[in-house]
Structure 1
Amino acid sequence: MKVLLAKVSVLAVACGLSLFWATRQTPTQEKVLNYTTHWVGNTFEGAGPNGYGRWVQNFVDEIEVTPDGAVITASEWDEAGRCTGIYKDGDVNSDLLKQPPEGEEKAWGWGTGSQAVAVEETTIFIANTGNELVRFRWNPKNIHEWSFLGKVEIGGSEKDNAIAMAARNGLLYLVRKSGEVQVRKTSDLSLVRTFKIEGAQDIAISRDGTLWVIVGNRIERYSPEGKKLAGTVANVEKPTAVSIGNDKGQLIICDDGPRQQVLFYDITNPQNPKLVRAFGEKGGLRSGIPGEVKPLKFFALRGAGTDAQGNIYVAMGLTMGETIIRKFIPQGKLVWEVMCLAFVDCFDALEVAPGKFEIYGQAEIIGFDPTKPPGKSWWLKAITRDHIRYPDDPRNKDLWGGALIRVLQGRRVLFTTPQMGGGFRIFVFEPAPSQIARYVGEITLPNIELWARNVDSKGDIWLSDGRTIFRYRFKGFDAKGNPVYDLDNPDKWQAPAPFTEIMRVKYIPETDTLYLGGYTPEVQPPSWGLMGGVLARYDNWVKGNRKARYTILMPRDDDNLFPKEFDVAGDYIFAVMVKPTKGIPAMVHVYRAETGEKVGVMFPGPEVGGNSGWIDMVHGIHALKTSSGDYLVIVEEDWRGKNLVYHWRPTQ
């Protein structure tokens, strides 16, 4: 036997870019089941047509805080185009900033995709990834109003994008990857001068007009002309952002090192900055119960600032699909927070006590109560990743967002999968009460674009290369708490009739039942990565039966595609489509597991404006039968950064 410790192979993750919006309709010739649509992983429901509506964006590269308490963000990517968001009083702008004319933008998000944003009074400046400097007028009293003011090219290499900006007193300072600093007038964006600061990462302008710049692990002071001045902050382990407070003019530094705090420096004497406050619990997520989320436990700091009244704003997030923005009063009490926790993610549910649920993503634990109204039914409980203690955790960089949670011999084990082909990464949780999970290894089939994969309730891993089915048996845990699998001696079976290619596999060990999705000589693939056009059930599989109890010819969507994925829970099978069906996105077809009989369909309800993007990841749906006989059906919804949870009680 081998203890699972080492990675076997790595496959890249690609992001689906397409989306669809629709109002709720009733599909003809389909029975619509009676269910409630909840959503988890985003503060807002994501209703509204393309370019309009409310959702928290997938990621934040940096933020600017205005004197009146708005947080304006920059990011290179948001699936639905909110690369620059305006957040205020717990709300977000419902009309996205858009550079006209539509279709001619050089950056994602209607020309707003960027790492650099700046604000001066009622003007927002965005240096986008197409090397354009774009200006918008906004209304601080109404964040939903804006107008386009114009743009200029910043010139230079296409790869030398802007990574930081700041504006004050009529001047805009733009920092590029190369260290070039452009100084421009905010009135017309004309170039005043340029200079270079090697290694510059972020910039802030103090009230006296001098510059504070992150260079490596130091925050250095420069004149407006780029001359290095006396005054350096050198005791920050990993500075990620700097700003100047709108209340006292203090230098604010985000330290993403072990302390995980926001640091405030008095720069009244700029030659000798003085630390006057460390905001947040020292150690961040590692403090108290490791991983447990509390307002002052910070992690992955992306930016911070203050408004004119001294309220503090903090933004966090390590990878795509993780954005948390919080507002605190000066004394540290939380006022509001907004968040996005999903991008190419499909969560999995665990009933931890009768009627009590936890929903697991690749790096988060969400509490869920289906008896509460949609939007009020979930809350963030824990972040399971510690990028400080475990810098080699692949979740720190790679997005493997298909999550499966299993309880094996009383211990939680988290399995994650890529969007497309690949195997499983495996994580085990630290001893209680810690909520941090550490990476222990990966199981896959080398040199294979692996589509068929699953982990059964006993912890056995099932894989198929399309022709052969492999089962790697879970053997327990070793002395270090790592799961043990016999990687050299898997059980093997050949694909049974009628399949010529297996695309999905689900095994129910309690009943020795195997479900397969795939293709046959008569039903061939219309595209790649689908679950297949035929679903079959085999009873007594391990005992030797190879005759299907039934086969189901799967439905097709409006693009003639078969479903992306299916799951089995209790008495039912749930299969989700890739693209709209008769104009309705992400339709879930429900079948009776005993007979294969079609029961009905579910799709995004009015609670989310009928909206969903494409389902384009292998594990795009998970289902759970609860102790009360209800079903929770979780479906990927990447377009607006969340998951849908259908709460369904079957009627007999």
Structure 2
Amino acid sequence: MKNAARLIALSLALQGLAIQPSIAQSTLNYTTSWIGNSFGFGDGKWMQQDVEAIAVAPDGTVYANAPWDESGSEIGVYRGGDKLAVAGNTHGWGNAGGDAIAANSTYVYAAMSIGNESNGLVGADYPPANQTWFGVTRRLRADVTQGAPFASGIGNSANATKNSFLRVLAAPGSSDGAVRGLAATDAELYVADTADNRVVVYDAQTMRQLRSFTVPTPGRIALASDGTLWLIQGLQDANGPSIGHYRKDGTALNDAPVLPAGTVPTDLAFAPSGQLSIADNGPTQQILLYARASNGQMTAAGSLGTRQGIFHVVAGKPGDWRFNGIASIGYDQAGNLYVAQNGQGPRPYGTALVGQGAVLESYAMGTRTLGWRLDGLTFVDAAAFDPANAANVFTGSKRFTLDYGQAPGKQWTYAGFTLNRFAYPDDPALHSTRGVRGSPMVRRFNGRRFLYTLDQYAHYLNIYRFSPATDGEVAIPSGLLAQNPMPGNWPAGQPAYGEWMWRDANGDGHVDASEIASNPSTGATVGNGYWWVDTPGNVWLATPLSGIREMPMQELDAQGNPQYTYASSKMFAMPAPFNRIARIVYVAETDTMYITGFTANIPWDASHWKEAGPVLARYDNWSSGSPTLTWQASLPWNTSSSPQVTTVGIAVAGNYVFIAELYTQKIDVYDARSGQLAGSMTPGANVGSTSGWVDIYMGMSAAQRDNGHYVLLVEDDARAKILMYDWTPG
């Protein structure tokens, strides 16, 4: 027990304070499930988080490639709605996947890169300092985990892909020299050396260079039955890419179609009938068909897919033939169509974006019906419940519905894609570091639903409103609160330094300089603060060293946007025992504040910059001016162990506080009334008894259902899903 102590500008009563130590884990009655991926990993499978390119074998086997998958499935193999293999050795130790892939009867050729991890890797397997190798890994089709070495092959001398890498380009380490197109016959391999404006032709068996010819920034390549090459070219042209047609020796042919205005070609493929298909990732989101006319020219012959794709009529509603970010297409021998999408399309030249989640699907062209579909929809993405309906779950850019009566992994349905890059190119998420929205909070005011999202490290708080009648599932950009300027000199009108906010005063979803307001009182960055939005819509900012600020929501403006002002802010001083705050959850209904952070006993250090801290505390009567520290608890914390035991996330629901550990795949459950540890939860066998790190500041949310069950949603970016715990307190 301690007597009341007074802080500067804050009175803190410590009556009834109990410091709760960690105790042994209790057995809890819970089940695990997942959301957003076709596989849970209990069977060792997961749908990769991104697909940039596919190659389709005659038997319908699909080989997919992307520069990055968190668990190393940059190259995945699929058939009939199942995952057959992960190629491996494209992740870590300098290796990364790529943006193109091709296959012949013997080999799979996949674009990849080899770096030296900021000059930390040296030797013959790695490029010299400040350089990256871009090229092609050759694998056996019979077993893609095995390299198919050749005399001039290099790299990976310590694994099964030794000497099976073809170096096409050695580029400065910060530049994009990625191979953007591949095509192969049993005799020749065609490589789009995009950065060098050429197509290079290699012997498909010996991998010796045969010839090359000039093409302006070439991309995807498709081989016609007559041996000519059709390709996408001009990836960096001011007017956008176009279609080129070349003989094998590089002679340009002049019969390529001129694409409709607004078309953004991203891939092309030939059906067994000889019809040319061109994927359009522009606003139409369709596959354009071309056939040879009697005059010898390629002429339009229709299209596949719903015009405007996922944004047709009910914007953001997923469904058959409603494409969303067409990245690659292909056909098998039977004429079935395969379409890879990632909500974005192929990675823009010179960027490291990984899309909005992968969808790989197959259609039977005879009946135009869906054959199968695989989803890997979330990456560095948290999830949150709609407060009006615990069966309605939002991630940064998705909505899922839940049927708790179904078997684990079958409970979720992909119900909405909430980001419309065509209607709202000024969505702040599209201008953030990763181009995604990240951690969501769903709130309801005046009967309306709002979405608040945090970027990965909580620098920015984005605000979105909904208008189902006009925008379907789409979340309309409504506002932004920023602790510091956005990267990339966007938007125009933001201050060069310091806090600022934007509100969409005219309701058009675009950021106008006249709608931006800077913080007049500080003119300084807040630092690595943490945002929280309470039930009434007040925005709380936990600053690391200066206490906690509340920005009350004033009202909804004429456009339906929540309004905030710096002038109306209220500041609460740093409460004992903390000297650095990392996370907060404020429960407005009970005027209760939960805080995690660091104290004089275990101070913060820069090596644990994203941790939630070793101490959890509950304060009652927070807004009264004399809050009561009801209890504090010591959280799991051991930075000397291997792996380290630290905390990263907090969620509160009903009578419990949930704490996510960073490296140890454990969720600790505390009684919110006493601070006592009730037990812990870890991933079950149906999700492989494992999960990835909770790698973002707000990686977890919780809700109590009407039946008393607690449901917890936890980021699992390791395998492109949301991990779900369903716990019944004993």
Q: Same fold (TM over 0.5)?
A: yes
Contact 2:586 2:594 in 1 (8 A): yes
Instruction: State how far apart, in whole Å, the 1-side matches of 2:423 and 2:695 are.
Output: 33
> Counterpart of 2:98?
114
Name the SS for the 1:459 alignment partner.
coil
> Counterpart of 2:279?
254
Relative distance call for 1:450 and 1:162 in structure 2 (3 A) is same
User: Aligned AA for 1:579?
Assistant: Y
Q: Would you say how many aligned residue pairs link Structure 1 and Structure 2?
A: 603
| C-alpha distance after superposition, 1:44-80 (max 9, x if no partner) | 11247xxxx3111111111112221122111100000
Instruction: State how far apart, in whole Å, the 2-side matches of 1:507 and 1:191 are.
Output: 64
> Counterpart of 1:327?
362
Runs of 5+ unmatched residues, structure 2: 1-21, 115-133, 150-163, 234-239, 345-353, 484-498, 500-524
> Counterpart of 1:171?
188
1:240 CA drift (Å): 3.5
Name the SS for the 1:389 alignment partner.
coil
> Counterpart of 1:219?
243
1:259 CA drift (Å): 1.1
Instruction: State how far apart, in whole Å, the 1-side matches of 2:554 and 2:568 are.
Output: 12
Contact 1:340 1:642 in 2 (8 A): yes
Contact 1:41 1:643 in 2 (8 A): yes
Name the SS for the 2:429 alignment partner.
helix
User: Aligned AA for 2:273?
Assistant: K
Which one of the candidate residues 188, 199, 209 is aligned to 2:217? 199
User: Aligned AA for 1:565?
Assistant: G
- Is 1:605 aligned with 2:684? yes
Instruction: State how far apart, in whole Å, the 2-side matches of 1:262 and 1:285 are.
Output: 14
Contact 2:77 2:85 in 1 (8 A): no
* Deviation larger for 418-427 or 189-198: 418-427
> Counterpart of 1:238?
263
> Counterpart of 1:91?
82
Contact 1:423 1:450 in 2 (8 A): no
Instruction: State how far apart, in whole Å, the 2-side matches of 1:438 and 1:640 are.
Output: 29
> Counterpart of 2:486?
none
> Counterpart of 2:429?
395
> Counterpart of 1:22?
none
Contact 2:621 2:628 in 1 (8 A): no
* Deviation larger for 448-457 or 172-181: 448-457
Q: What aligned pairs does 1:360-399 form with structure 2 within 5 A after superposition?
A: 360-396=394-430, 398-399=435-436
Runs of 5+ unmatched residues, structure 1: 1-26, 581-585
Which one of the candidate residues 557, 560, 566 is aligned to 2:650? 566
Instruction: State how far apart, in whole Å, the 2-side matches of 1:59 and 1:223 are.
Output: 33
> Counterpart of 2:40?
45
1:358 CA drift (Å): 1.4
- Is 1:409 aligned with 2:446? yes
1:270 CA drift (Å): 9.0
Instruction: State how far apart, in whole Å, the 2-side matches of 1:172 and 1:145 are.
Output: 18
Which one of the candidate residues 285, 288, 297 is aligned to 2:322? 297
1:187 CA drift (Å): 1.4
Instruction: State how far apart, in whole Å, the 2-side matches of 1:391 and 1:227 are.
Output: 39
1:560 CA drift (Å): 4.1
| C-alpha distance after superposition, 1:275-326 (max 9, x if no partner) | 2231111111221311111111111111112211121111111244510011
> Counterpart of 2:140?
137
Instruction: State how far apart, in whole Å, the 1-side matches of 2:468 and 2:39 are.
Output: 34
Instruction: State how far apart, in whole Å, the 2-side matches of 1:618 and 1:561 are.
Output: 16
Name the SS for the 1:579 alignment partner.
coil
Instruction: State how far apart, in whole Å, the 2-side matches of 1:269 and 1:340 are.
Output: 44
Contact 2:280 2:287 in 1 (8 A): yes
| C-alpha distance after superposition, 1:551-583 (max 9, x if no partner) | 111112544443101111111000010012xxx
- Is 1:444 aligned with 2:482? yes
- Is 1:549 aligned with 2:549? no
Instruction: State how far apart, in whole Å, the 2-side matches of 1:240 and 1:73 are.
Output: 19
Relative distance call for 1:499 and 1:106 in structure 2 (3 A) is closer
Instruction: State how far apart, in whole Å, the 1-side matches of 2:577 and 2:311 are.
Output: 52
Q: What aligned pairs does 1:120-131 form with structure 2 within 5 A after superposition?
A: 120-130=104-114, 131=134
Which one of the candidate residues 684, 697, 708 is aligned to 1:618? 697
User: Aligned AA for 1:375?
Assistant: G
1:145 CA drift (Å): 6.5
- Is 1:337 aligned with 2:373? yes
> Counterpart of 1:484?
563
Which one of the candidate residues 49, 52, 61 is aligned to 1:61? 52
Instruction: State how far apart, in whole Å, the 2-side matches of 1:391 and 1:327 are.
Output: 30
Contact 1:239 1:253 in 2 (8 A): no
Contact 1:576 1:615 in 2 (8 A): yes
Contact 1:451 1:529 in 2 (8 A): no
Name the SS for the 1:293 alignment partner.
coil
> Counterpart of 2:723?
644
> Counterpart of 1:11?
none
- Is 1:456 aligned with 2:470? no
1:454 CA drift (Å): 0.8
> Counterpart of 2:160?
none
Instruction: State how far apart, in whole Å, the 2-side matches of 1:400 and 1:180 are.
Output: 37
Instruction: State how far apart, in whole Å, the 2-side matches of 1:508 and 1:563 are.
Output: 21
> Counterpart of 1:511?
590
Identity of aligned residues (%): 30
Tell me: higher relative CO, structure 1 or 2? Use CA pairs within 8 A at least 6 residues apart.
1
1:122 CA drift (Å): 3.3
Contact 1:555 1:562 in 2 (8 A): yes
User: Aligned AA for 1:344?
Assistant: V
User: Aligned AA for 2:183?
Assistant: A
Which one of the candidate residues 462, 469, 483 is aligned to 2:548? 469
| C-alpha distance after superposition, 1:147-199 (max 9, x if no partner) | 32122322443542211111135211111222221101111211111112113
Runs of at least 4 residues of structure 1 off by over 6 A? none
> Counterpart of 2:674?
595
* Deviation larger for 213-222 or 115-124: 213-222
User: Aligned AA for 1:165?
Assistant: L
Contact 2:75 2:86 in 1 (8 A): no
* Deviation larger for 36-45 or 206-215: 206-215
Instruction: State how far apart, in whole Å, the 1-side matches of 2:103 and 2:644 are.
Output: 47
> Counterpart of 1:21?
none
* Deviation larger for 426-435 or 637-646: 426-435
Name the SS for the 1:639 alignment partner.
helix
Instruction: State how far apart, in whole Å, the 1-side matches of 2:636 and 2:225 are.
Output: 64
Q: What aligned pairs does 1:528-547 form with structure 2 within 5 A after superposition?
A: 528-547=609-628
User: Aligned AA for 1:274?
Assistant: T
